[in-house]
Amino acid sequence: MKESRRARRMKRHYTRMHKKGGLNLVSLMDIFTILVFFLMVNSSDVQVLQQDSSVKLPVSIAEQAPKETLIIKVTPEDIIVQGRRVAGIQEVLSQSQDIVAGLKAELEYQAQKTGVAINPESGQGGFITIMGDKNISYAVLKRIMSTCVEAQYTQISLAVNKISQKGA
């Protein structure tokens, strides 16, 4: 039996409209490539200092972002340089001298490894960041800073949690 023109037209229309959809992967790949480049370019603006739960940083409204430097963590019990324990807080407090021997040895090792030296014309040394618990005593902080200067790390920064101007 012969199909009518209307039946043929409806059959063509039905087969055309009920095909499985295709996905254009070229456009999708272009979008992901642009997204990857965007994230790579903008990822350098953010720096997160790894802090553990034992260090509670003080808060500040400082605007200047920290630089990539050597990090000293000062917990309520220990002094840690780049993840290695160099001295205990009780050891530092029981010493009569201002220089912490274990910390100075580690800083000199790090300076030799990274090539930090005093600039003769400006007298400036290496950069260092101290992530100290907000409850550490001033005597401990002063001894740590004195040791840093003795080991040619004269550009000392203290890590803080930034808060907005409204909260201050």
Q: Which domain holds residue 38?
A: 5-45
pLDDT band at 67 (very low <50, low <70, confident <90, very high): low
Same domain, 154 and 85: yes
Residue-wise pLDDT tens digits, 100-154: 888 889 988 888 887 766 665 666 778 888 888 888 888 889 999 999 888 888 8
* Residue 168 counted as domain residue: no
Report the domain count for the chain.
2
Query: In the 8-state DSSP scheme, what is residue 108?
Result: H
Residue-wise pLDDT tens digits, 5-54: 999 999 898 888 887 777 777 888 888 999 998 888 776 555 555 556 66
* Residue 114 counted as domain residue: yes
- Determine the 3-state secondary structure of 33 from DSSP: helix
* Residue 53 counted as domain residue: no
Task: Please provide the size of the chain in residues.
Answer: 168
Same domain, 83 and 29: no
